[in-house]
Structure 1
Amino acid sequence: MRILIAAAALVAALPAAAQTAPQSIPSPILTTPEAKDVWTHAQPEVARVTHVAVDLTADFDAKIMSGKAVLDVLAAPGAREIVLDVDDLDIAAVTDGAGKALEWTVGPRDKDLGSAMTVKLDGAARLVITYKTRPGAAALQWLPPEMTAGKTRPYLFSQGQAILNRTWIPTQDSPGIRQTWEATITVPEGLVAVMSAERIDGAKGKAAGKKMRSFRFRMDKPVPPYLIALAVGDLKFKALGPRSGVWTEAAMLDKAAYEFADIEKMIDAAEALYGPYRWGRYDMLLLPPAFPYGGMENPTLTFLTPTIVTGDRSNTDVVAHELAHSWSGNLVTNATWSDSWLNEGFTTYFENRIMEAVYGAERAAMYADLDWDGLVRDIAENGGQTGATTRLHGDPGSTAGQLDYFKGSVFLRTIEKTVGRDKWDAYLRGYFDRHAFQPQTSAGFLADLREHLLKGQPELELTLQLDRWVYAAGLPDNAVHVTSTTLAAVDAKLAAFKAGGPASAVQPQGWSTQEWQRFLNGLPREMSAERLKELDETLGLSASPNAYVRSAWYVLAIGNRYDPATAGMGDWLKGVGRGLLIRPVYAALMAQGDWGKPLAERFFAGARSSYHPFTQGQIEKIVAGK
């Protein structure tokens, strides 16, 4: 049974002195055993943060953010302290809302979780924490002008998922502890700050004798703290519709606007499927290449990698994915990272439904078919049907590859095919309404599914194999595989080439990214230098402007120790910060031992400073052989 702490009851039970600070009605938290978050120091059942207000100044020379955070606290009767998550923050002082100093301590640093910051409440319902970040804050990436499109002004962006926001905001950094928030961000004049919230204003002012400008933001809906996001740069905006638009540097603005022109159609399609979009605006921020992911679903302002801008709109599935997160992930959120498939699997399924509604069933089938390839590959490479990391629910961060995305979406598609689309869509729409602005667990979802969809039908339960999908390894035998006729045509060309046909017969003109991926990933892993040269020269692989193509080609070439492909590899690795595309290349190099390891080390040494700290850590482990 799902157990919720009733916020109103907690407020009523608080001593009068603890109710002096204004409190909005906070989102409930889950207290079932499976909702225990092992990636936080917080004890939300004792005292928790309900609202965060930061007032910070960005110092690009020192690479620090400095100022204060004001936290509203909801504490259980008798609670004497609150525990926050911090990581490498320089804390100067902590007071209550009236300016009274409060006792506080910061515990030893755990290499993964940072430190526990414990504050004695002494009846306080509001904390004011004065602090600074450090130059190496893992959530923040400070880019020099030369790493931007304009080359004249610096850039700053944050990436908080999963638990990195504790490196720039002292709060309870757990997805199950939803918080409203507001911010004032002061930056050098000439730069623009944007955040994942409603923008209130941008007023000029002065700070420390320099011309500065402050921007104010407000998020009045409770969100998991990893969704608090910031970017500062020489940013321009272009409207794409009545509630959507794109921010980016001037050099990329028109390209981005063209690539994302269908966003209003996507929003309409999503609402028709699963209910109203509840976040106001849906804007997008196209970042510099150093951004480590394809996209990040920050409410009101999706962050996107420039690698998806290929001029043919073939990668707008990434936009559909981040939009779908506005329901699955942002509206209903995994309570812990052990259940991240509730965010990513749901969203991958929903993304595909948006693509089908906007672009047709065959294009959606193409994406689903490729996802199936990825799922089969992830399972095969991680222990097969008995591999522990092929479970959906498990230790946080322990699932193989993109299994949360692929196995999770195939699970939901299997339910859809079994019960029928109309019944499934009605259920999902109700699910998002019932659990809006709340955390969720696998156990909670299955209980809801049984109550509102299965309704005591044991034969249907047996057919669906619900527990096996979520808690067991491998792929259940009822999994639904959607196939694509477009990719089948690519497979035919692939078969002809593998049978000895010329590369000139492939004729990839007009291919989408997905067709390229199917072809390149389907090529034999062992090929002669002559055959690789033929492919490269005929299809222009080493010079492709498509980052997906370059990544897949480099992995194939490295596996055969094809030296000519390494000529531009270092520059490419330095110019692409997206982990999904560069991790396989470094891993392929390391797998080649004495031939590849020196190349991996040299390329990483040259590219390291251009990567987000999170990506740096990932590549470091690969190059170190861990």
Structure 2
Amino acid sequence: MRILLPALVGLALLSPLHARPAAVSPILTTPDAVDSETYAQPRVARVTHVALDLDADFEARVMRGSARLDILAAPGAREIVLDDKGLAIERITDDKGRALRWTVGTSEENKGAPLTVQIGAARQITIHYSSRPDASALGWLPPALTAGKRKPFLFSQGQAIENRSWIPTQDSPGIRQTWEASITVPDDLVAVMSGERLTPQGEPAGAGRKRYRFRMAHPVPPYLIALAVGDLAFQPLGPRSGVYAEPVTLAKVAPELDDTERMIDAAESLYGAYRWGRYDMLVLPPSFPYGGMENPTLTFLTPTIFTGDKANVDVVAHELAHSWSGNLVTNATWPDGWLNEGFTTYFENRIDEIVYGKERAAVLADISWDDLQRDLRGSKPNATKLYVGPGEEAGELAYNKGAIFLRTIEKTVGRERWDAYLRAYFDRHAFQPQTTAGWLADLRANLIKGDAALEAKLQLDRWAYEAGLPDNAVHVRSATLAQVDAAIEQVKAGGPVASLPFASWGTQEWQRFLNGLPRTLPSVRLAELDGAMKLGTSPNAYVRSAWLTLAIGNRYEPALASAGEFLPRVGRLLLIRPVYRALAAQGDWGMPVARRIFAQAQGDYHPITAAVVERILEPAG
């Protein structure tokens, strides 16, 4: 018999580390808000607070200790179901230390297994456990894989459902939780987390060990609980921002981040106060799988964005924008993920416009349009939807199609009216989950307000639920990229490559050029491009990735050596995934090379990256 939990809004949760009580975030109960990627039954019993007490064992590659969970349960509820992905559980006790019965159900690939605890009347439980050495959320790096080459490094990556491999909780974006943590590490390393840093210098914790304590007083989706441990130094960038990095890296990366405070000010001028206290960043080793990760108070960044020209600091604007769209208002389920990424990509561009001007924003928006067109051409129709229903294949265009959707609304209703709506929207739904249907209802109630002509002009349901690109989509065109387009036409016409003005190009111009060239080119033309532009040895990872994808697609033999050097040292999926795909698509010419490179590089990749590449290289059939 299922027991339903009553309304949750307004209930308070107290924690020893909280300066003030935090309101419990509601659970959405509409059918579209049911998360198929969790075993939890939050309307019966849900986690509201997680208190971690863990020791980082670098030799064994495990996190070991306990997680204390505060529970809100319906009257008569006798059990709680958590998510577990390979945890080694020793025992589970109630708040008086009495043993509780628990079982782990059948495990599913990627999703893990249900951990069911018989809580009886207990509303606080403690799970004593350790993670596995191969926990999918944790990247344990030996010194050789760090920038400094002297000390090991650990970082977590919880999105989308990986944190269940090191934190026993209800791992769903719709079940927001406050948290606190005590993390013990070797005393020559520094621990940082995505919350308030209570002991920035650490405190003694026995021979050769140091303890760091953290807290997050706002309810957040569990995927945003993040940890890193390593040889880290810190440099302030302004009164509420700074950057952590390995000491040998810090001097290189800090100058490219010196506009961070201006970005925070710009974001606040658009959509209201930044509600997370500090905005710091952590530059990770190259095996980090993403460009950035929007962990509250501590954005994680890949070193690949630092190319010497500040051309890629839009990644910082993107992760900062997530402090509103994603962290403040979060997709309730992963099929609604575009509510995070599409909104954020739009918001990022608005920050860029304020800080760097309209033409820089136009360049990035035009590149976004290009990326969307490529994804539309290369995806099955169902994978070109924003909202992806149960059983449908997820696409890769939530960022750009979502951003263009919002830009289309802006152009239709006017920027002033749109900004007022969006600012109020973030206030109305702060620290809460959201669905596509819920946002559309909010938009209709607070922006459209029964205007049938406006409703018809916007084509909202077509944008949200149908495949392809509606015919009212707004394409922002860049004058800068128009000049690059002229260079592309010169190459197509057979003109000399050496005369092109590429010496002044930044990352975006290079991307436009390489992605805009014909996909079929003879080896002699590829050799001319490579020789004049030094593409096969470019230190810019964006340029190298785009070049290798083109060159390998044409079976350009010198590209194989370049790929063999590039792929093992870069862990960012955005940059290596297309190269592996290009190799795999070339069958007997490229697939053996891809598998040989992956065999060499696999141990250096984050588990998420390794799993994606493995799927690309699986035999067809």
CA contact (8 A) 1:349 1:409 kept: yes
Shift in alpha-carbon separation, 1:284–1:139, aligned structure 2, 3 A: same
Does residue 132 of the first structure (1) align with residue 130 of the second (2)? yes
Tell me how far 1:401 sits from its aligned partner: 4.5
- Code of the aligned partner of 1:607: A
Residues 77 and 120, structure 2, Cα contact 8 Å, conserved in 1: no
Matched to 1:106, the amino acid is V
2:472 aligned residue: 478
Q: Which residue of 1 aligns with 2:181?
A: 183
- Counterpart of 2:243? 246
Question: Which residue of structure 2 aligns with residue 122 of structure 1?
Answer: 120
Aligned counterpart for 1:297 among listed residues 282, 294, 297:
294
Deviations 1:63-93 (A, max 9, x none): 0000000000000111111000011000001
Q: Distance in 2 between matches of 1:282 and 1:398?
A: 36
Q: 1:18-417 to 2 correspondence within 5 Å? A: 24-201=22-199, 202-207=201-206, 210-383=207-380, 387-395=381-389, 401-417=395-411
Q: 1:203 to 1:305 in 2, by over 3 A?
A: closer
RMSD of Structure 2 on Structure 1 (CA):
1.6
Contact 1:337–1:397 (CA under 8 A) maintained in structure 2: no
TM-superposed CA distance for 1:10, in Å, is 7.2
Q: 1:566 maps to which residue? A: 560
Q: Against the structure 1 CA distance between its residues 573 and 88, is the aligned structure 2 distance closer, same or farther, given a 3 Å change threshold?
A: same
Determine whether 1:586 maps to 2:543. Answer: no
- Give the distance between the partners of 2:6 and 2:289, measured in 1 at CA: 36
How many residues align? The count is: 610
CA offset digits 1:334-376 (Å, max 9, x no partner)? 0000100000000000000000010011110111111111111
Structure 2 equivalent of residue 16 of structure 1? none
Matched residues in 2 for 1:9 and 1:392: separation? 32
Cα pair 2:5 2:74 within 8 Å, conserved: no
1:205 to partner: Cα distance: 2.8
Aligned to 2:504, what secondary structure does the other structure show? Answer: coil
Cα deviation, 1:498-532, whole Å, max 9, x if unaligned, reads 10111101121121111000000111111121111
| Runs of 4 or more consecutive aligned structure 1 residues displaced over 4 Å after TM superposition | 8-12, 396-401
Distance 1:190 1:569 in 2: 36
Alignment partner of 2:217: what SS? Answer: strand
Letter paired with 1:590: A
TM-score normalised by the chain length of structure 1 = 0.95
Tell me the SS of whatever aligns to 2:115: strand
Cα distance in structure 1, aligned partners of 2:5 and 2:256: 43
Instruction: For 1:7 and 1:531, locate their aligned partners in 2 and report how far apart those are by CA, in whole Å.
Output: 64
Give the conservation status (yes or no) of the 8 Å contact 1:5–1:30. Answer: no
Change (3 A) 1:236 1:33: same
Change in Cα spacing, 1:38 to 1:382, as seen in structure 2 (3 Å) is: same
In structure 1, what residue type is equivalent to 2:92? V
AA in 1 matched with 2:321: A
CA distance in 2, matches of 1:229, 1:437: 18
**Contact conserved, 2:184 with 2:205, CA < 8 A, in 1?**
no
Partners of 2:235 and 2:11 in 1: CA distance: 45
- Aligned partners of 1:390 and 1:399 also within 8 Å: no
SS at match of 1:79: coil
CA distance in structure 2 between the aligned counterparts of 1:245 and 1:446, rounded to whole angstroms: 37
Contact 1:414-1:479 at 8 Å conserved across structures: yes
Retained in 2: the 8 A contact 1:5–1:29?
no
Q: Percent identity?
A: 65
Following the alignment from structure 2 to structure 1, what is the Cα–Cα distance between the partners of residues 487 and 333? 44
CA contact (8 A) 2:383 2:395 kept: no
Alignment counterpart, residue 447 of structure 2, candidates 440, 443, 453: 453
Cα deviations across residues 274-306 of structure 1 (Å, max 9, x unaligned)? Answer: 000000000000000000000000000000000
2:507 is aligned to 513
Structure 1: any 5+ residue segments left out of the alignment? 13-21
Q: Note the alpha carbon deviations across 1:446-474, whole angstroms, 9 max, x for none.
A: 00000000011011101101111101111
Determine the C-alpha separation between the residues in 1 that align with 2:300 and 2:205.
29
Residue 228 of structure 1 and its aligned partner are, at CA, apart by 0.1
Residue type of the alignment partner of 2:8: A
* CA drift at 1:379: 1.2
Residue in structure 2 matched with residue 19 of structure 1 by the alignment: none
Q: 1:377 to 1:203 in 2, by over 3 A?
A: closer
Q: Secondary structure at the match of 1:500?
A: coil
Partner Cα separation in structure 1 for residue 168 and residue 396 of structure 2:
30
Q: Can you list the C-alpha shifts for 1:45-68, whole angstroms capped at 9, x where unaligned?
A: 000000000000001010000000
User: Structure 1, residues 170-209: CA drift from partner, whole Å, max 9, x if none?
Assistant: 00000000000000000011000000000001444345xx
What SS does structure 2 have at the residue aligned with 1:285?
strand
Q: Which amino acid aligns with 1:77?
A: P
Report the equivalent of 1:575: 569
Amino acid in structure 2 at the alignment position of 1:6: A
- Aligned residues of 2:10 and 2:24 also touching (Cα < 8 A): no
Q: Structure 1: how far apart are the matches of 2:368 and 2:529?
A: 25
Return the alpha-carbon distance in structure 2 between the equivalents of residues 564 and 406 of structure 1.
Answer: 33
Q: Which amino acid aligns with 1:245?
A: G
